[in-house]
Structure 1
């Protein structure tokens, strides 16, 4: 399976992402009439059939992959000027992952399942997430 990894620009923590992700889709007038989150990106993934309904978008926050959201579908969108985009329609569920370092990049990248960080167990200790992030920054994980 293949996933997508994307920088979460302008966001400094998972909590900040959670606080405004509900508003994101309304910035572009993307209303899919259901309880989903939407992220608009410029390019449609060529491997869309390997992603829709089975993969996740892994968010890089502060240089670390910190969480993921399941991707429900990818929908083409064309604005009033005729520019084509891809709306990544995601589940509202946000799953924290074991922090994993990632250098800055533009756009999004594919991420093989074998390279994706595992989820942190539900109800996990927030302090352990911070400790894991510190260990990653020190190069010990």
Structure 2
């Protein structure tokens, strides 16, 4: 069974900014995000799990985790999350800030925007789309 991680994207204010930063980092090799703790549920995480990024108080984008690496520095062992370079935008979900990462069960993960767009395209009676911000606000209020 797949499990995901969710983490605050510190210092980033938009998905476009994250994309730009990571494109520059890709020049040096694979994307590796270093964390202090290694996830205990590594088998579930490597079974299709993603890192969901919180940007400006909302889960907004995800990246598939392809590998976990053991890293060492002066403070001891750390964990390197090797990330797929593809950023997949998701529906916005409000999320309070926290330190480090948290597990996110697959059934609680926000849907990919591309899946929502495909579903909307199948509905001929659709009168229009909500902006991601409006949808997030309505979801927060429990209206959708």
Assess same fold via TM > 0.5.
yes
- Structure 2 match to 1:67: 61
Contact 1:53 1:71 in 2 (8 A): no
CA 1:97–1:123: 2 relative to 1, 3 Å: closer
| Partners of 1:87 and 1:140 in 2: CA distance | 39
Which residue matches 1:94? 87
Which one of the candidate residues 20, 26, 47 is aligned to 2:41? 47
Q: How far apart are residue 23 of structure 1 and its match? A: 3.8
Match in the other structure for 1:110: 103
Q: Whose radius of gyration is greater, 1 or 2?
A: 2
Q: TM-score, normalised by structure 2?
A: 0.79
2:120 maps to which residue? none
Aligned to 1:12: 13
Deviation at 1:122, TM superposition (A): 6.8
Change (3 A) 1:102 1:108: same
Q: CA RMSD for the aligned pairs?
A: 2.5
Q: CA deviation at 1:130?
A: 3.6
Q: How far does residue 136 in structure 1 lie from its aligned partner after superposition?
A: 4.5
Q: Does the 8 A contact of 1:24 with 1:38 survive in 2?
A: no
Q: Which of 110, 113, 120 is equivalent to 1:120?
A: 113
Moved segments of 4+, more than 2 Å: 22-26, 126-141
User: Structure 2 stretches of 5 or more lacking a match?
Assistant: 118-128
Q: The residue matched to 1:67 in structure 2 has which SS?
A: strand
| TM norm structure 1 | 0.81
